[in-house]
Amino acid sequence: MNELAAKRNAVTELMRISPVADDLAGLFARAGHRLYLVGGSVRDAMLGRSSPDLDFTTDARPGEVLKIVSGWADGVWETGIEFGTVGVTKRGATLEITTFRADTYDRVSRNPEVTFGDTIEGDLSRRDFTVNAMAIEVSTKQFVDPFDGLAAVRDGILDTPATPQESFADDPLRMLRAARFVSQLGFTPAPRVVAAMTEMAGELARITAERVQAELSKLILGSRPRQGLELMVDTGLADVVLPEVPGMRLAIDEHHQHKDVYQHSLTVLDQAIALEKADGWEPDLVLRLAALLHDIGKPDTRRFTSGGGVSFHHHEVVGAKMVRKRLRALKYPKQVIEDIGQLVFLHLRFHGYGRGEWTDSAVRRYVTDAGDLLPRLHKLVRADCTTRNKRKAAALQRTYDDLEERIARLEAQEDLARVRPDLDGNEIMKLLGLPPGPLVGQAWRHLKELRLDRGPLTHEEAVAELVRWARENGIEPPE
């Protein structure tokens, strides 16, 4: 992309959002202030990418901004006003308007001492990376680029306006954001940025888990998460955020001894993403994290065997516990934690299928244990095949094809997604003369186990089995 084309893209994007931006700029001009489109909005325009939200900066102080947009905006919120930001909605567009900043940081917490600035150049000097330190004055369409951000976008280079050490000391989260931009935008960090990240990785520990998790999730959902994760591991950021991932470099995968578990896991992540795309899925955080973390239990379960072999017995059980612990520490939502933990726990279940040992009961249990996660489990298991032996890989895929076809046949016959006992709780209580309580739950679970083992029972068979269970447990059904 040449510079003229990039500027044209930016102006075209700016005109696309007009007249909202032009109207807003007119309001600021009439009040004696300037308004600039800034940051990621300009960067994305240079890249020909649309931005759902628009960021502006101005010399007007927050109180003045509120007066200017009052009566014009469809909605206004002041959540970030102490940091100089006023949020606005207008005709479906979301705008954030922030007063020029000249902050200083205590370099102990991440919280700045908010100080307002007077120039656009001073504001841009405080930005995280030069690709985000460009602005367009909305009224005149003048392009402002004091730190050669346009050249950085053109060359795909991630660098900082100030020295990386100054930038990262001010806000250590910027180091993780660098890895996120590698994943999302395909940028390459400048050598001095990588050196500073490596030197200062431990500073990330002073950032709250919630902020770290938000950046990590964006990285995982990017188009090149492998590259972002490799940067995290190589610089030591992963030792702070996801220490189990670099920890996998210690173990040799028992099926692929030419690779360590770390490289295997990154390949599984790549293959899971390819399967997402093949089926038209949106980027799936749960699937991608499960792919990355499915083998994190291997280092703790590694055992060397006679003859030079290695085993990882029950690594899926250990790994599921480790996943839940790490994701809780990162403050992920409870359902996300449980879903990823369950996928890690189940990812090895399939490997007994190819030996011809699975009954219909085993297939039912596979589907029932996966529940709503079954489509993701299908992709995770398929992605977990990273052998270079084409014949072996094809055989594994054919075997899983067979399992999916078998699931489909049983589903058509039995509605596997909603396996329930053949008698409900009310029938159990009536037939056994029991009040609500634990015994009813035990009887219900017994009938569900039968349903999984044998498939649907007739009503008479189910009643007979319930009576048999009751008598074995000292319960005499009424006549």
Q: How distant, in Å, are the alpha carbons of 97, 122, 135, 432, 457 from that of 100?
A: 10, 8, 12, 75, 72
CA-to-CA dists, residue 92 to 17, 40, 44, 74, angstroms: 11, 19, 19, 9
pLDDT for position 352: 66
Whole-number Cα distances in Å, 35 to 27, 50, 68, 113, 281: 9, 20, 12, 23, 39
pTM of the model: 0.81
Which residues make Cβ contacts (< 8 Å) with residue 8, sequence separation at least 6?
none
Residue ending a domain, among 155, 171, 187, is: 155
CA distance 284 to 306: 41
Residue 98 lies in a domain: yes
Calpha distance 305→370 (Å, rounded): 32
**pLDDT above 70 for 312:** yes
Q: CATH number, domain at 67?
A: 3.30.460.10
Name the more confident of 208 and 412.
Answer: 208
Number of domains within the chain: 2
Distances (CA, A) of 284 to 238, 273, 276, 369: 21, 8, 8, 20
DSSP notation for 161-182: SS-HHHHHHH-THHHHHHHHHH
* Residue 348 scores a pLDDT above 60: yes
Last residue of a domain, one of 123, 155, 187: 155
- For range 163-171, the mean pLDDT: 94
Q: How does residue 103 score in pLDDT terms, banded at 50, 70 and 90?
A: low
- 380 domain-assigned: no
Of 100, 133, 155, which residue sits at a domain end? 155
Residue 170 in domain: no
Banded pLDDT at 258 (limits 50, 70, 90): very low
pLDDT at residue 310 tops 90: no
pLDDT at position 117: 87
- Lowest average pLDDT, out of 64-68, 167-171, 242-246, 459-463, goes to 459-463
Q: How far apart are CA 346 and CA 79, in angstroms?
A: 43
Question: Which one is predicted more confidently, 433 or 280?
Answer: 280
| Sequence-distant (≥ 6) Cβ neighbours of residue 316 within 8 angstroms | 294, 297, 344, 345, 346, 347, 348
Q: What is the mean pLDDT of residues 320-334?
A: 97
Residue identified by tokens 């795309």 is 277
Q: Is residue 95 part of a domain?
A: yes
Task: Give a yes or no: residue 364 inside a domain.
Answer: no
Residue 271 forms part of a structural domain = no
Whether 253 shows a pLDDT value over 50: the answer reads: no
For residues 53-69, average pLDDT: 92
Query: In the predicted model, is pLDDT for residue 417 greater than 60?
Result: no
Report yes or no on 256 lying in a domain.
no
Q: What SS3 state is found at 229? A: helix
Q: Which residue has the higher pLDDT, 448 or 61?
A: 61
Residue 55 in any domain: the answer is: yes
Relative orientation angle of helices 459-472 and 425-432, to the nearest 10 degrees: 60
pLDDT of 455: 75
Domain ranges, residue 106:
3-155
Q: What digits encode the pLDDT tens for the residues 5-28?
A: 666 666 666 556 667 888 899 999
454-466 mean pLDDT: 80
% of the chain exceeding 70 in pLDDT: 86
